[in-house]
Copies of this chain bind each other. A is one copy, B any other.
């Protein structure tokens, strides 16, 4: 291992699972492990061998998957106090996991030895020594996680160092210094790591938590002080404020600190990896996340958008494509007229910066934003608004009325949803009905059924994303709702928005915009598809 190479140790599947709202099926864990392997992390901590039958199933399954590069680690603790290690349940489970690597944590801080383990300082040293030695004798690579190392060191450097020496003398392959409470400061982490690296001839790792919003900085400072392994999770999932986010650490190491990581050639896959894990966890993507957030390279202020046009380096610390992200120019009341102009030109309009319509669009935008509309991921609704202001809007159909009925006939009966709809196209009336999985799905189905006779292209449109946001939650069930829909016809993808106190009406608005945008788009031979910005995929 080159001195400037840093090993990436992913613990999304173990420490990440302790995050609030985070859980995964076995299949989900396997799919994330395979993805991490493809990305090129060095270690994948698969779970806590003794805590959870699902984790043991994971270890069984993953053995059959023949990962390409990553080594799988089972996680556990040192033996219990005053137990023979060969008879310790946790240690048995660790071996039963049959992984090449085992990672065990032990106590570094006297407070924990006294108050949590309730044993003696010497017994704790023996627990570390016995467990590491036992696992080494059975052929495992042993990574020793020195839990609460920094707090322990601040309390008693001598005792904290004694715990590390116990692990090292028993054969541990790597000593990982953990800031388990997550409260350490960068200079403390740097100083203490440096002292350990200097004192011990052993590979040292770092494991930080984010309770002071410093986990990424603390991890980098530890690397600068000599740590050669960084433990963290994708997107920073983890207990309390989370673990150190590998999605920020890896690009910082590679692009800023010039360290080598085995995954560095796949850096362009970083944003996809981040989203893949969010999707598997069914959690929203962190919009503001460094490097991988949708907003990470989004420019809203007119002046910044303008500067980026002149030279992207002016407001971008790295090129967005380095990490698989992309630049976005946002529309909002802070937008300069140049942002609006750009959208109008995309639509084939011939306006200039001084056209009075630009001011009309900005005014309308401000009004709608006050009502709760947002166009940042509803580009198609924004363009339809521009058409309306330019008096270029062509309604493709008229609504005569709709009715949605949801009915349940008894506690254990299914809940049925049906929508009827009456639309007018030219002089023709179409009156039809459809069922659905819920009221919104039923209305969506009915609208498509009604229009497909006139506009067969509608049949190709599928809704690819659907987001509901309660705008004033304290109004409870009477709250105003914003619905954002993403649609696709296989070629393009577009976003639309609706806002109403009635969720059905909000969906209706977004559905109508989606259909009208599709029909408008198909009529434009001149529209350049490459200019149609792909709306951001997911958001909170």
Contacts and interface: CB of A to CB of B under 8 A. Distances in A.
Given A406-B403, A473-B538, A508-B408, A214 B212 contact: no
B220 A17 contact: no
A181 interface: yes
Given A217-B214, A333-B23, A503 B503 contact: yes
Interface in A160-183: 180-183
Interface residues of A, number: 134
A324 interface: no
Interface stretch (A36-44, A283-291, A382-390, A515-523): A283-291
A307 B118 CA distance: 11
Interface in A306-324: 307, 310-311, 313-318
A356 interface: no
Contacts of A20: 287-288, 294-295, 298, 300, 330, 376
A475 B398 CA distance: 28
Interface in A249-291: 252, 256-257, 282, 284, 287-291
A221 B187 contact: yes
Most buried by B among A294, A333, A405, A468: A468
Contacts of A310: 115-116
A369 interface: yes
A216 interface: yes
Contacts of A333: 23, 52, 54
Contact of A288 (B242, B370, B474, B505): B242
A67 interface: no
Given A213-B245, A406-B403, A477-B507, A239 B304 contact: yes
Given A248-B212, A485-B476, A505-B415, A241 B295 contact: yes
Contact of A18 (B186, B301, B317, B501): B301
A471 interface: yes
B186 A217 contact: yes
B369 A505 contact: no
A281 to B, nearest CB: 11
Given A181-B316, A241-B290, A317-B181, A503 B439 contact: yes
A200 interface: no
A504 B217 contact: no
A314 B406 contact: no
A230 interface: no
Nearest to A287: B20
Nearest to A411: B399
A301 to B, nearest CB: 5
23 contacts: A20-B287, A20-B330, A52-B333, A54-B333, A115-B307, A181-B317, A212-B291, A213-B216, A213-B245, A240-B315, A282-B471, A401-B408, A401-B409, A403-B406, A403-B407, A406-B504, A408-B508, A438-B500, A438-B503, A439-B504, A466-B476, A468-B470, A473-B538
Given A217-B218, A439-B503, 16 more contacts: A17-B334, A51-B334, A111-B314, A112-B307, A116-B311, A185-B252, A213-B216, A213-B290, A236-B288, A403-B405, A438-B504, A443-B477, A463-B477, A468-B469, A468-B470, A503-B503
Interface of A: 17-21, 23, 25, 51-52, 54, 111-112, 115-116, 180-183, 185-187, 210-214, 216-218, 220-221, 224, 236, 239-242, 245, 248, 252, 256-257, 282, 284, 287-291, 293-302, 304, 307, 310-311, 313-318, 330, 332-334, 369-370, 372, 374, 376, 398-411, 413, 415, 417, 436-441, 443-444, 462-479, 481, 485, 500-505, 507-508, 538-540
